[in-house]
Amino acid sequence: MTAETDTESIWHLRLARRDVLRGLGAAAVAGAIGAPGSAAAAESLLEEDAQLTIRRLIGDAKPQPGRVTISLPDVADSGNSVPVTIRVDSPMTSADHVRLIHIVAERNPRPWAASFSLGPRAGRAEIETFLRLSDTQYVTAFARMSDGTWWMKRTNVIVTIGACESMAVRY
């Protein structure tokens, strides 16, 4: 490749990027003015993003319901800081312990909320943290055991003021 060819390929990339940005802007405007079907399209896009995130985190594994408990409020006044506790039923011995815990908040702009690595020396399979939630949504926790099995729990939380909206109100 010559310097001229490199410059030419970069110019095409810039043009493509510009076209993508124009398309995104048009989609945003269509969504803002309420284009027909835009709510359904946005909903399916959110679900697809969450599904892609889950696939990246657990691969093709088929998690089973059970062994995982999620404790979070039924109603969160603000999505800025929602306390959550994840517990996994495990003896936490070297032969049987939790290796990973993933938390996915399905309607967040970035659904992957947190991941934790555990081992037998953790003592108990429990984590406590705070989540930032953008809207009323399902929160799902996935736990990978030392034998390679995956377990999960999915629960709904009602968010009165989403994390994004509360920042707009505050400032």
- pLDDT computed for residue 47 by the predictor: 56
Map out the domains of the chain with their CATH numbers: 52-170 (2.60.40.2470)
34 pLDDT tier (thresholds 50, 70, 90): very low
Question: Whole-model pTM?
Answer: 0.69
49 pLDDT tier (thresholds 50, 70, 90): confident
169 in Cβ contact with 86 (< 8 Å)? no
Q: At what angle do helices 3-32 and 38-58 cross, to 10 degrees?
A: 130
170 pLDDT tier (thresholds 50, 70, 90): very low
Neighbours of 92 (CB within 10 A): 18
- pLDDT computed for residue 161 by the predictor: 87
For residue 134, give the 3-state DSSP assignment. coil
In this predicted model, what pLDDT tens digit does every residue of 111-144 receive, in sequence order?
Answer: 999 999 999 999 999 999 999 999 999 999 999 9
